[in-house]
Every structure is written in structure tokens, then in C-alpha cells.
Structure 1
Amino acid sequence: MYDIYYVGAQNSERIDFCQWPYMVTGGDLFDGGFDAIEDDDRIQGWERKITSKKLNVEIRAVGMTLDKAVDQLENIAEKDVVNITPGRLYVGPSYMKGWIVGTTKDRWVQDIDSISNELTFKSDYPYWITEEEFRFHKQGSESSEILEWLEFPYDVPYEFSKVRNLQYINNSNYTASGFKMIIYGPCINPLIRIAGHIYELRTTLYDGEYAVIDSSTRYAKDRKIVKVKTDGTEENLFNSKNNESSIWEKIPAGLSIVSWNGAFGFDIILFNERGTPRWTLH
């Protein structure tokens, strides 16, 4: 059974559709399709436009009254709609960003203990995303010593695992992935090479500060690079990126060598995208 649930953007409130008072009964979450990009009556490519998904649920007076169950669901959903901030609809480990924008109820006259409810979920980024996280530690830290003698999943040209600050990232997706990169201070002008590509910020991060490079959005104008200071305030670092090497370059599928000077640690979260949720749970 797939875990299906919605997490609101405002307070991370969760609605579980596989546990009463809500229980999924159907929908089209596993269906999908691409829209053709046409020019001169020829297909030039494929894209996914704004998409609506249907989720059929039974709402039953279990653990709370029926009216409270209905109001709880709609309150969480509408907060995200009003604030124009997408929540996340999860199917297993994958999620799609969007909003619950419609509700169609049935049997509300005859039955006071349960009703059927068809929910409409709409997304302008209609991809199912599964996250993969990788951690790279500062040279000399206890964690880096543990990782120094890595066993690689298959043969590589030479023993990378015995070279300090030369590690790898294994993207399990079938295509290149967007990412979020978190770089921890203190460091000056942090530079990271992944699969030979340079990701560099020309800035200083002090102890307790970190920088976030976030390419998790569909639109380049919404991507961000920020420094988070020790007091929690943010500073825009968009103009601190190395413009000679695109900092938004997606990370290739499969095994890629990662290298840096070892003077700082960083995390990478890959956003592996699919047109439909993964059918296999593991």
C-alpha cells in the first residue's frame, strides 16, 4: 500500500489519506502524459503544462466528528491557496508541488457519518519528485575520517576512495537532476567540482553561517542563492555566483566524481523527477 498524504506549506500540517477519518478510494495519481511542443506541424520536444489530478477519498467520523474532519482538510488546503504557496502531495517517497483547489462531495444528504469526496489537485510543476541526499564532510572531521576509505559500487579508473576530498555522488535517476546545495562555513570562495563541472560562490561564509543554492523550481527567475547568518537572517548571494560556469547545471545520472579543497563541508539534495510516481516503493 502506498502512503498518500498532503503536507501544507504554511505549518507543515499533514492530511493522511490512508488513515481514518480519510481513506483513499481511487483517482488518477498514477496516470500521466506529456504535451507536445510543436512548430511547423512537427514535434520539437515535450513538456508538462499545468496539470490537474483527481483524488477520491472517503471521509468518515472516526476519531473526530464528520464536520470537523471535513473542515480540517479544507482549512489546511485553503491556507495554501490563499497564500499562493504550494503544498506537497505525496505518493510513497515521491511528491508533487501544488494546491488542493477543488472538492466535490457526494452522499452528504443521506449519511451523517461518512461522505465521498473527490479532491482536485492542481500543479504548475507537474513532476513527481523523489529526493536523494548526500553529505560531504570537512577534512579532518570525525565523519570525514570514517568516509575516507569508501567502497565504490563498481570499478573506477583508479582508487578514488583513497584520495582525500575526492569522493562520488551516485544519482539513481535515469536523467540529470536539479538539486539543492548547502555549503557550511567557515570558508572563502567555496568551489566544488561535480563530473568536471564547477559550482562556485565568490563570497565568505563565517563560522555558523551557510549558503543555500536552490534549483528546485521550474522557473529560473525563482531560483535562489542565499547566505543564512547565525541570527537566521538571509542575504542574497545571487550576484556572487561564478558566471563563467553555470551554477544551475543539473547533476548527471549515475556515478559522478566530486572534488573540493576539503576546507568546508556541504550537503547535496537531488530532486529526481518523473512524470508519474515511482511504481516500486524501494
Structure 2
Amino acid sequence: VWYQRAYIAKSETSQIYGRRGIAATLTVLLLDGSWRREVAQEFYAREDEDQTGLDFPHDFEFDYGGSVASRSVTVDGLVPADLKLTIFGPASSPRITVTQGDFINVYSADVEVPGGSRLIIDGSSFPKTIKLVGMYGETEDRFADGMRGEGAGSGSYCFEQLRPGTSSVSWDGSFGFTMTHYLEEGEPPWSS
């Protein structure tokens, strides 16, 4: 479904049908300058694997971890798409990595997401927001806890737009999340 915010500037009634209704001509002003459509994709927690990794009797310079979950997301069109991530708890400082060619971006926030709660990192809204929504709908502003690196294009910007084409998505598999990106068109696709 394509949509756009609008303002009804004028209404002229031409016919009244008793209490049943009216015929009217509306003058509508479009506010966004572009039409948008949401595309949502679910990524599920992988409970069938051991998430603890390997534990050796001596230390290495790096940790050997378990396998990571991996899938892909495709952005149709020619322009980057705004992204909203909804991460479902329990999750501890969730990290999601999106890779396309040489470009890698890590979406993360230093937040404990309890079971039954969700963390929403919304780069599609103005202003951008990070909210922790509790089990009973209570909302907590966690904007300060989002990882921003050095801004867009830095590789660790939690509000980075998705690039057009297919990107691989990976995370540790310990939590589920929804990726919602927004396609934009200058005119409705059905008008041509």
C-alpha cells in the first residue's frame, strides 16, 4: 500500500443525501513530496544452536564463537531506503550487521531488552528515535544508547539507510527482529 501524509485544504458539498451521506469535492495538499510503501521482513531467533561458542582450556587472542544466523534483504528501486528495526527481547546489546559488497554497517544499541519487550530503532521518523517498549506498553527513550560511529557511511551508524539491491543480514541468532524499510516514489506507481 502506497501512502503519503496529506492535508484537506478545501471541501465543497455538491449533493446531500438526507442522513445517509453527501457528495463533495475535496482539495488535498500532499505534504511529503513522495509516496512511501513499507516492506517488512521477519528474522527469527535460532534456539536450536548453542550460542555460547567454544571454550578452550587456554586463552587465544580472539574468541571462537558459535555460528551466526544469516539471511538477506532486498531494496527495490534506485535510492537508499529508510530503515526501522524492531528487536524483540530478551536481547543484550543487540547487533545486526548488513553487508553489501565492500560496505558493512553494524546496527547496535547498548540496551538490555527484557523478555516480552521490544527495542525500536527508527531511522524513518523525524526526528529519529530509539525506544524501549515494555511488556505493558510503557515507553522509555533510549536515543542516547544507539551506536552512531561517525555518522552515515561510517560502518556503525544505527540509523544507516539500506542501499538499493540485495544485502546480507547477520546476527548472533539469540534474538528475533523485524526490518522495515520504506520505498519512495515521486509519483504513485499506478499513475504511469
Report TM bin, short chain: 0.7 to 0.9
Q: Is the 8 A contact 1:184 1:211 kept in 2?
A: yes
Show the counterpart of 1:170.
74
2:161 aligns with 250
SS in 2 for 1:139: coil
Q: Provide the rounded CA distance (Å) in 1 between the counterparts of 2:142 and 2:106.
A: 17
Does the alignment pair 1:191 with 2:191?
Answer: no
1:133 matches 2:37: no
| Alignment of structure 1 residues 214-225 onto 2, 5 Å | 214-217=122-125, 219=126, 222-225=127-130
1:236 Cα deviation after fit: 0.5
- Matching residue of 2:120: 212
Q: What are the residue-to-residue correspondences of 1:2-151 with 2, within 5 Å?
A: 93-105=1-13, 108=14, 111-113=15-17, 115-123=23-31, 125-140=32-47
- Return the match for 2:109 from 194, 201, 216: 201
Aligned equivalent of 2:175, options 257, 264, 267: 264
- What SS is found at the alignment partner of 2:4? strand
Identity %: 23
When the two structures are superposed, what TM-score results if normalisation uses the length of structure 2?
0.76
Change (3 A) 1:115 1:185: closer
Offset at 1:112?
A: 4.2
Query: Does the C-alpha gap of structure 1 residues 112 and 95 become closer, same or farther in structure 2, counting only changes over 3 Å?
Result: closer
Per the alignment, residue 64 of structure 2 pairs with: none
Q: CA deviation digits over 1:131-190, x for unaligned, max 9?
A: 11111000126xxxxxxxxxxxxxxxxxxxxx7501111112322100211001101100
Q: How well do the aligned residues superpose, as a CA RMSD in angstroms?
A: 2.1
Identify the structure with the greater helix proportion: 1
How far, CA to CA, are the matches of 1:185 and 1:140 in structure 2? 13
Is 1:182 aligned to residue 86 of structure 2?
yes
Corresponding residue number in structure 2 for 1:241: 146
What are the ranges of 5 or more consecutive residues in structure 1 without an aligned counterpart?
Answer: 1-92, 142-162
Amino acid at match of 1:119: T
SS at match of 1:96: coil
Q: TM-score, normalised by structure 1?
A: 0.53
Deviation at 1:127, TM superposition (A): 1.4
Q: Is the 8 A contact 1:101 1:122 kept in 2?
A: no
Kept after mapping to 2: 8 A contact 1:97/1:126: no
Q: Report the CA distance shift for 1:186/1:103 in structure 2 as closer, same or farther (over 3 A).
A: same
Per the alignment, do residues 164 and 201 of structure 1 end up closer, same or farther by CA in structure 2, a change over 3 Å counting? closer
Q: Using the alignment, how far apart are the partners of 2:40 and 2:7 within structure 1?
A: 26
